[in-house]
Amino acid sequence: AQTVTQSQPEMSVQEAETVTLSCTYDTSESDYYLFWYKQPPSRQMILVIRQEAYKQQNATENRFSVNFQKAAKSFSLKISDSQLGDAAMYFCAYRSAGTGNQFYFGTGTSLTVIP
Amino acid sequence: DGGITQSPKYLFRKEGQNVTLSCEQNLNHDAMYWYRQDPGQGLRLIYYSQIVNDFQKGDIAEGYSVSREKKESFPLTVTSAQKNPTAFYLCASSTRGHYSNQPQHFGDGTRLSIL
């Protein structure tokens, strides 16, 4: 089974600053999909951004962008101009293109935004 | 609007009692999943189903049971054999098949506590 590792249990950032959350994964597959989810205190899981492994261009969604390094099996999330509403748990997730049905999640990073 | 509905939002279980958590989706997704989340922890897979009348155990299936009689519904029963059921339970669904880049969609969760 694939494994997803988030090595930073907790991170903090000053409001309006930039923060990067790390995610690495272990796989022997060449095709797969990667996702970042946000879980605020309400516990709702919200999709932040997705990346297809076959795309070299890094995905961007407004203030959120990724740094996808396929050879290094790394998928970090950069949050620019951090806002108080960004405070949440962030989970990295992997989906195989082959089986298509199993998702693998990291253990999460708790982000605190300091006013 | 399409989505996933979990009910109830809060549930209390007495010793020796079985309780059932409801999960309904109208996204026309084939695959459905149940996750358990303990405080400050990541998501652990309990059961998943790829099609009607078929389901597979996840990493922590002991003490839980599921059924998938309809595409839209995937109820989870927490049996008396589950000695530590207090947790937050998330239901999710997704498309099925090879090369599907779609993320999982999540319900708002059920918080289960022991009386």
Do B42 and A91 make contact, defined as CB atoms within 8 angstroms?
Answer: yes
Best of B56, B93, B101 to disrupt the A interface by mutation (most A CBs within 10 Å)? B101
Do A52 and B101 make contact, defined as CB atoms within 8 angstroms?
Answer: yes
pLDDT digit string (tens) for B102-113?
889 999 999 999
The residue in chain B having the minimum alpha-carbon distance to the alpha carbon of residue A52 is: B101
Q: Which residues pair with B22 in a beta bridge?
A: B7
pLDDT digit string (tens) for A65-103?
999 999 999 999 999 999 999 999 999 999 988 765 788
Measuring CA to CA, which residue among B83, B61, B74, B82 is closest to residue B26? B74
Do A100 and B103 make contact, defined as CB atoms within 8 angstroms?
Answer: no
Per-residue pLDDT, A100 = 54
Smallest Cα distance from A35 to chain B, Å: 7
Q: What is the 3-state secondary structure (H, E, C) of A87-114?
A: CEEEEEEEEECCCCCCEEECCCEEEEEE
Per-residue pLDDT, B81 = 87
Interface residue ranges in chain B relative to chain A, Cβ cutoff 8 Å = 31, 33, 37, 40-43, 48, 50, 88, 90, 92, 94-101, 103-104, 106, 108-109
Do A95 and B101 make contact, defined as CB atoms within 8 angstroms?
Answer: yes
Residues B35, B37, B42, CA angle at the centre, nearest 5°? 95
pLDDT digit string (tens) for A17-69?
999 999 999 999 888 999 999 999 999 999 999 999 999 899 999 999 999 99
Distance from C-alpha of B112 to C-alpha of B115, rounded to nearest angstrom:
10
Smallest Cα distance from B15 to chain A, Å: 26
Bond from prior residue into A40 cis (ω within 30 degrees of 0): no
pLDDT digit string (tens) for B10-45?
999 888 899 999 999 999 999 999 999 998 788 999
Best of A8, A37, A45 to disrupt the B interface by mutation (most B CBs within 10 Å)? A45
pLDDT digit string (tens) for B46-99?
999 999 999 999 999 999 999 999 999 999 999 988 889 999 999 999 988 766
Q: Tell me the chain A residues in contact with residue B43 when contact means C-beta distances shorter than 8 Å.
A: 91, 105
Confidence of residue B1 (pLDDT cuts 50, 70, 90): low
Q: Tell me the chain B residues in contact with residue A31 when contact means C-beta distances shorter than 8 Å.
A: 99
3-state secondary structure of B72: coil
Per-residue pLDDT, B102 = 85
Residues B1, A36, A93, CA angle at the centre, nearest 5°? 100
Per-residue pLDDT, B5 = 96
Per-residue pLDDT, A99 = 63
Instruction: Enumerate residues 82 to 111 of chain A having a beta carbon within 8 A of any beta carbon in chain B.
Output: 91, 93, 95, 97-103, 105-108, 110
Per-residue pLDDT, A48 = 97
Distance from C-alpha of A33 to C-alpha of B102, rounded to nearest angstrom:
8
